[in-house]
Structure 1
Amino acid sequence: MTDVTYKVLADLSPEERADLVKRSETDLSFFIEKVGPIIEAVKTEGDAALVRFGTELDKAKGLTLDNLKASEEEFEEAFTLVEEEVIEAIRFGIANIRTFHEEQAPEPMWLKEVIPGAFAGDRFTPIESVALYVPRGKGSFPSVTMMTTGPAVVAKVPNLAIFTPPGPDGKVDAATLVAARLAGVSTVYKVGGAQAVAAAAFGTETVKRAQKIVGPGSPWVVAAKRLLSGVIDPGLPAGPSEVMILADDTVSGGLAAMDLLIEAEHGPDSSAWLVTSSERVAKEALEALPGHWANMTEQRVEFSRTVLTGKSGGIVVARDMDDACAFVNEYAPEHLEILSTKAFEYLGSITNAAEILLGTHTPVSIANFALGPNAVLPTSAGAKTWGPLSVQDFMRRSSIGYVTPKGYPDLAKNAKILADYEGFSSHANAVSELRKQYLED
């Protein structure tokens, strides 16, 4: 497969190596220019703009001002349309996701005595309203519904709403409605793309305004989040899917090729790289790809072939595994699989990866659907500073302080010294002898 992108790190210039880490949404200028009018239309026209864009952009038929929100009848119908084994798989995934996030949830409040008589700590309370974005353009994603609702429900957010593009029939994907109902979320809007971000940010006649929006989306969604970041909290940067397979000489190149396709099949704007120090693994992967493509649907073959023959995917051969790990950290992938019979030996060398899956029995598929850790992850090198979607993303943290008469003197003395040094007289007065006249005995 000579058309698959194949790079040898040692042969690349610094500029060529830097090009390998670029993502599809690195330059959003085109999308930002295009989403501006969409945002303004939603802000000024409300529901009418949502119906228009749903009809024109999503090609949805039958979308009206009266059915932008999924009805109870649509929820009930969804359970008749989805096969029972799919419903049970959704139940299984939701249970594991909830278990994981319940363990992750912080204590509602903690206090520690920092010096005798003085206490400091944190209190966690849920955000009042959060929009959960579930994409649909290149497939249906009840798994994203599971991943976004799981930590939100554990965090006890009182107002949750799912935003997802309508299908050609003007309806929400049935499995997405099933996942929403089983997770405990009853508000689902048939709105996607940049218009969904705008609706969540400003509210409309039907859509209730949210304080935050989370969930992965296309560059259109990413651009809208960026433009509206001063109006609504855009959450972690989750754009088109990306994966990096780090493989050593202990595994089959055919296995590496199979797992490389997991995220590459999401769409032509995905990123997917196999990084290995083994020329054997690289060669086997190249030879195995046609066989794997023969077992995929035509659309997914087209998507993944576009990725692996373009600038955002392919095979990279490193000098050794230290060089390979260094490139992983430079890339900071959304999903990272460490394919090796000694995967834990490389774990300490990885610092920048949103999700790290260890060994030959932990493909991204299992993490995306069933294992429990959240699969809504930062993309475009966001893993250098961000982590996966978590319970804390749905909570606000308040610092708590409590000082008793016993702890006050030492704190006041030191606070006054620093207040005087920085020239803040009111700061100093508040902890000076002047305070005593107002304190209870």
Structure 2
Amino acid sequence: MTDVSFHDYSTLSADGKAALLRRSETDLSSFVEKVHPILEAVRTEGDAALARFGRDLDKADVTEKTLKVTDAEFDAAFKLVDASVIESIQFGIDNIRHFHEEQKPEAMWLKEIRPGAFAGDRFTPIKSVALYVPRGKGSFPSVTMMTSIPAVVAGVPELAIVTPPAPDGSVDAATLVAARLAGVETVYKVGGAQAVAAVAYGTETVKPALKIVGPGSPWVVAAKRALSGIIDTGLPAGPSEVMILADDTVHGGLAALDLLIEAEHGPDSSAYLVTHSRRVAEEALAALPDHWAEMSDLRVGFSKTVLTGKNGGIVLTSSIEESYAFVNAYAPEHLELLSTEPFLHLGHITEAAEILMGTHTPVSIANFSLGPNAVLPTSRWARTFGPLSVTDFVKRSSIGYVTAPAYPEFARHSHTLALYEGFSSHALAVSPLRDKYLKKDA
């Protein structure tokens, strides 16, 4: 069989261990250089550039007049998608909406910090957000669900999906079904770096947005970085990655089965099985050919590229503690704790965007229907970012209110610190001069 990358972790040098942490998008310098002409063309030419790139880069039949999905295309999508698929989309939407409604922060909270002095937060929706739904290596109505629903729950008034068109100029029908059922009716047929530029600058057809969220290729990630001063680019979500942490209570064939879930996304994905059990590692290696025999040629090709390359394979550690250390150093997007006793391991994991527990919670279920958001930070950004959530679609304002009885004490301490820091106007605003004005207004 094709040689799967196998790493004996305890024997690796420091450089060898560091190499395992690299992702396909770690160095985006070549992409950043190439996206600049695309971004500038969209900024200066608008729809004309979007249509041209749609034809040249996406090989799609699009024109300036067909960049936006029509109501008729939405209606037709429901006739093109099998009823069972629509049912599964609705099942996922119901669970995802329920999860995010529970997650939504209260509109405002205000607490008495000291007698007569109140402070708190108020949350209001971001006015406009663009949702990026990739299509380069497949169709992803699930990404539409994961990006749209928390935005709708948050109450964002202006939502639009940008997604690459198919060769015939259409948008994936299930994506349109998911969009409408989730509550988004604006979809643009534009993808890649040009989509990021379109929602950052705006064109004749595409309305500019304040923020863009959603996973994408290195081209999309590079465009987001280049335009981060123009548009809020949200959490860094690039090519898919998974880590399966398996202990010696499971069969390696099950670990191999789940290892392939994210590996099949594309050749730029990352996928590792980490285990301290040589039996599990060997069983996984033995099972992979049988699993590949059940998959499509396209997905076999993608997953073999990943598992035989520099961004995937099997990592054999010397102990469960060493497995924990590798997981935390890697900070994966998706992590499965594959064990009959997963809660024994949970407390040892501090760096992972998503943690799926036990033998009945494969990434597949989390990606489509469990409820928590499957748009997750990649490339070790799980160390500082969490999953996409309702809070990504709202902004927080601090609220403060000091009553007249509480004012003197706060004024005294603020005056002292203002003088220490050398801010005379700060001090003046809480000096006896203020008392004079307050007496005049009384």
Q: What CA distance in whole angstroms lies between the structure 2 residues aligned with 1:438 and 1:170?
A: 67
Q: What CA distance in whole angstroms lies between the structure 1 residues aligned with 2:97 and 2:32?
A: 36
Residue-by-residue CA offset, 1:78-130 (whole Å, 9 max, x unaligned) = 00100000001000000100000000000000000000000000000000000
2:46 partner letter: G
2:337 partner letter: I
Q: What CA distance in whole angstroms lies between the structure 1 residues aligned with 2:116 and 2:208?
A: 43
**1:2 positional shift:** 6.4
Q: What CA distance in whole angstroms lies between the structure 2 residues aligned with 1:408 and 1:197?
A: 48
Residue 148 of structure 2 corresponds to residue 149 of structure 1: yes
The residue that corresponds to 2:184 in the other structure is: 185
Residue 29 of structure 2 corresponds to residue 36 of structure 1: no
Residue 282 of structure 2 corresponds to residue 274 of structure 1: no
Q: What CA distance in whole angstroms lies between the structure 1 residues aligned with 2:309 and 2:406?
A: 64
Residue-by-residue CA offset, 1:117-155 (whole Å, 9 max, x unaligned) = 000000000000000000000000000000000100000
**1:410 positional shift:** 1.0
Shift in alpha-carbon separation, 1:68–1:2, aligned structure 2, 3 A: closer
Residue 6 of structure 2 corresponds to residue 6 of structure 1: yes
The residue that corresponds to 2:202 in the other structure is: 203
Q: What CA distance in whole angstroms lies between the structure 2 residues aligned with 1:27 and 1:181?
A: 37
Q: What CA distance in whole angstroms lies between the structure 1 residues aligned with 2:318 and 2:400?
A: 53
2:277 partner letter: S
2:4 partner letter: V
8 Å CA contact 2:123, 2:395 repeated in 1: yes
Q: What CA distance in whole angstroms lies between the structure 2 residues aligned with 1:39 and 1:276?
A: 44
Q: What CA distance in whole angstroms lies between the structure 1 residues aligned with 2:176 and 2:97?
A: 18
Q: What CA distance in whole angstroms lies between the structure 2 residues aligned with 1:438 and 1:54?
A: 64
The residue that corresponds to 1:125 in the other structure is: 124
1:36 partner letter: H
Shift in alpha-carbon separation, 1:208–1:2, aligned structure 2, 3 A: closer
The residue that corresponds to 1:73 in the other structure is: 72
Query: What's the secondary structure of 1:75's corresponding residue?
Result: helix
**1:409 positional shift:** 1.0
The residue that corresponds to 2:335 in the other structure is: 336
The residue that corresponds to 1:298 in the other structure is: 297
Query: What's the secondary structure of 2:64's corresponding residue?
Result: coil
**1:170 positional shift:** 0.5
The residue that corresponds to 1:429 in the other structure is: 428
Residue-by-residue CA offset, 1:346-395 (whole Å, 9 max, x unaligned) = 10110000000000000000000000000000000010000000000000
The residue that corresponds to 1:402 in the other structure is: 401
Structure 1 stretches of at least 4 aligned residues deviating more than 6 Å after TM superposition = none
Structure 1 residue runs of 5 or longer lacking an equivalent are none
Query: What's the secondary structure of 1:66's corresponding residue?
Result: helix
8 Å CA contact 2:377, 2:387 repeated in 1: yes
Residue-by-residue CA offset, 1:187-217 (whole Å, 9 max, x unaligned) = 0000000000000000000000000000000
For residues 54-133 of structure 1, what are the structure 2 equivalents within 5 Å? 54-61=54-61, 63-133=62-132
TM-score when normalising by structure 2: 0.99
Q: What CA distance in whole angstroms lies between the structure 1 residues aligned with 2:104 and 2:290?
A: 44
The residue that corresponds to 1:315 in the other structure is: 314
1:44 partner letter: T
8 Å CA contact 2:2, 2:308 repeated in 1: no
Q: What CA distance in whole angstroms lies between the structure 2 residues aligned with 1:2 and 1:67?
A: 45
Q: What CA distance in whole angstroms lies between the structure 1 residues aligned with 2:192 and 2:406?
A: 54
Q: What CA distance in whole angstroms lies between the structure 2 residues aligned with 1:416 and 1:435?
A: 12
The residue that corresponds to 1:257 in the other structure is: 256
Residue-by-residue CA offset, 1:273-304 (whole Å, 9 max, x unaligned) = 00001000000000000000000000000000
1:8 partner letter: D
Residue-by-residue CA offset, 1:401-440 (whole Å, 9 max, x unaligned) = 0000111111111111100000000000101111011114
Q: What CA distance in whole angstroms lies between the structure 2 residues aligned with 1:298 and 1:227?
A: 35
**1:314 positional shift:** 0.2
Q: What CA distance in whole angstroms lies between the structure 1 residues aligned with 2:17 and 2:79?
A: 51
Residue 16 of structure 2 corresponds to residue 16 of structure 1: yes
1:402 partner letter: Y
Size of the alignment, in residue pairs? 440
Q: What CA distance in whole angstroms lies between the structure 2 residues aligned with 1:72 and 1:423?
A: 61
For residues 383-394 of structure 1, what are the structure 2 equivalents within 5 Å? 383-394=382-393
Amino-acid identity (%): 73
Query: What's the secondary structure of 1:401's corresponding residue?
Result: strand
Q: What CA distance in whole angstroms lies between the structure 2 residues aligned with 1:181 and 1:87?
A: 11
Q: What CA distance in whole angstroms lies between the structure 2 residues aligned with 1:273 and 1:417?
A: 57
8 Å CA contact 2:2, 2:304 repeated in 1: no
Structure 2 residue runs of 5 or longer lacking an equivalent are none
Q: What CA distance in whole angstroms lies between the structure 1 residues aligned with 2:409 and 2:235?
A: 41
Query: What's the secondary structure of 1:112's corresponding residue?
Result: strand
Q: What CA distance in whole angstroms lies between the structure 2 residues aligned with 1:15 and 1:153?
A: 45
Query: What's the secondary structure of 2:65's corresponding residue?
Result: coil
Q: What CA distance in whole angstroms lies between the structure 2 residues aligned with 1:183 and 1:333?
A: 28
Query: What's the secondary structure of 1:207's corresponding residue?
Result: coil
The residue that corresponds to 1:53 in the other structure is: 53
